Amino acid sequence: MSNLSTSANTGNPRNKTALKPGRSLMDWIKLTNSSTDLSGTGNRLRDISPNELAQHNSKNDAWLAIRGMVYNVTSYFEFHPGGEEELLRGVGIDATDLFDEVHKWVNYESMLKKCLVGRLKADSMLPPVKRAQSKVIVGKGFPAPPPPTLSISTPSIGVVTTDWMQNSTSVTVVLYTRQKGLDAHRVSTSIDGKLFRIRIYSDDWSRCYDYQIHLAEVVESSCKVTVSLTTGKVELVLRKIQTALHWQKLGDLEDVSQGFQPLSQASPFFRQATLTRKLRVNHNVFLFTLTFPTGQDFYVPVGWHVQLKLSLEDGSELIRSYTPVVSDLSSCKTTDCPSKTEASTSLQFLIKIYPAGPFTSALDRLAEGNSSIEVSDSTGNFLESQLESKNVVAIAAGTGITPLVRIAIDTLRNNRRVMLLFFNRTQEDIIWKEEFRELELKYPEKFKVWHVLSEPDEEWLGLRGRINNSILATTILGGDCPDDGSNFACVCGPSDFTLETLR
């Protein structure tokens, strides 16, 4: 998803290079939609070590990593608008920082999805942990993480100190983050048997602290979290299964961050989920509901996404990124994600099934009750504060509507306006057409949607064509959307659609 402001553009200047004929963005999209194996691995994902990544460091054999994922960009050199030399700067290394410096707004996951090789190994993105020395003892002897290693490129980040205490019925883990502005939404926990994992996001969501321990004893699957907004003290209360049992130690540390680290460098973590519902939305889009076992407590911020991982029968894994939506659009009751009841914690996803797509075709074959799917912690860079006191102007194409669903509901719930320009190919492709119509009826002064079809039938009375100035002039620029700085514009869809809209 790309977002725009109605004020003047800012950002890093970019130097574009003249491309050869046949090397335009549209030519690249055609190539990615072909059967060509751009990853060079047969589209089978695997873990990549830093040493292996470093070996692919030339124009004829070029891999790079962005946010923990490794891509083979060998085929992309002649298509890169910034020139070959600029792209060469990032090959063989983790190029996340370089990418963010120049064009953080680009939807690289879509543009390079056919180039995906696999994941950068987790232990290459975290400081080494000496597990043999990570024994937890009672009270004040609870070891703090090792002090951060300072470098020119890595700012000094305060160490998170830890402690624990117990009584006859519970154990309390305390983390002193010294991060002001934290709340319970920023604390993610997982209890799986004796394995207890904690992730704490910073106040601006850009960094996180990870802590994982193998507890000395089994606890109940619920965890009570208390956070101090002023000091950043986080208390996590675990209920003992064997009450009155005095623990000699909290457990053995598995992994621990040196402090708050950039989210892009954090080790990926996946939770097991069960497909509990599959509901048809149109001819090729389904609403999937994934439900988590007790002991999984986390939050997906508005505008953020997660990764879904499928394990295949041959032992290989497939991973794709998706943005959760709310299950009941028209009610506009909540933007909570995941949705929670006393009995379950669930995420909902609108996913288009591609018969030739390895991931979606495998997902489509899963029956309700299947538990071979895993869901990562959330990731993204969108801040809900960007929506404060703003009306939303949303432009979407196809399943690009998914990141905008919660943004629209959040805006309406805060008594602001939403204008949606929604592009699809045919009437049968429109997602949640009736639900959006119900929103218009419920909020006649605050919600407006225009549907535009590129391949309509003769009966279609609405707008026709692709994104262009004429359509913009008759819809979102037609006078109902004053350019007074009160609007937040966001665009989401296929790469060619997004780039054409941004022009």
- When pLDDT is cut at 50, 70 and 90, the band that residue 264 belongs to is confident
Residues 173 and 258 in one domain: yes
Alpha helices by DSSP H, listed for 244-299, are: none
Q: How far apart are CA 96 and CA 70, in angstroms?
A: 11
Residues 116 and 309: their CA atoms lie apart, in Å, by: 14
Q: Are residues 140 and 249 in the same domain?
A: yes
Residue with tokens 């606890």: 219
Q: How many domains does the chain have?
A: 4
Residues 410, 479 share a domain: yes
Residue 395 has a CB neighbour count (10 Å cut-off) of 29
Q: Which of 400, 406, 396, 453 is nearest to 427 (CA)?
A: 453
pLDDT reported for residue 375 = 96
Interval 437-451 mean pLDDT: 93
From the CB of residue 472, how many other CB atoms can be counted at a distance below 10 Å?
15
Q: Are both 280 and 345 inside the same structural domain?
A: yes
Structural domain ending residue among the three candidates 376, 400, 425: 376
Q: What is the CATH number of the domain that holds 207?
A: 2.60.40.790
- pLDDT of 162 over the 80 cut: yes
Interval 183-237: pLDDT, tens? 999 999 999 999 999 999 998 999 999 999 999 999 999 899 999 888 889 999 9
Per-residue pLDDT reduced to its tens digit, 60-73 = 999 999 888 899 99
Q: What is the mean pLDDT of residues 137-153?
A: 35
Q: pLDDT tens for residues 291-337?
A: 999 999 999 999 999 999 998 888 889 999 999 998 777 666 666 78
Domain that residue 276 falls in:
270-376
Q: Are residues 326 and 214 in the same domain?
A: no
Q: For residue 393, give both structure tokens.
A: 């102007």
The answer to whether residues 161 and 204 belong to one domain is: yes
Helix (H) or strand (E) holding 194: none
pLDDT, tens digit (0-9, with 9 covering 90-100), for 464-492: 999 999 999 999 887 666 566 688 999 99
Could you report how far apart the first and last alpha carbons of the chain are, in Å?
Answer: 15
Token code pair at residue 340: 């929670």
Percent with pLDDT over 70 in the chain: 86
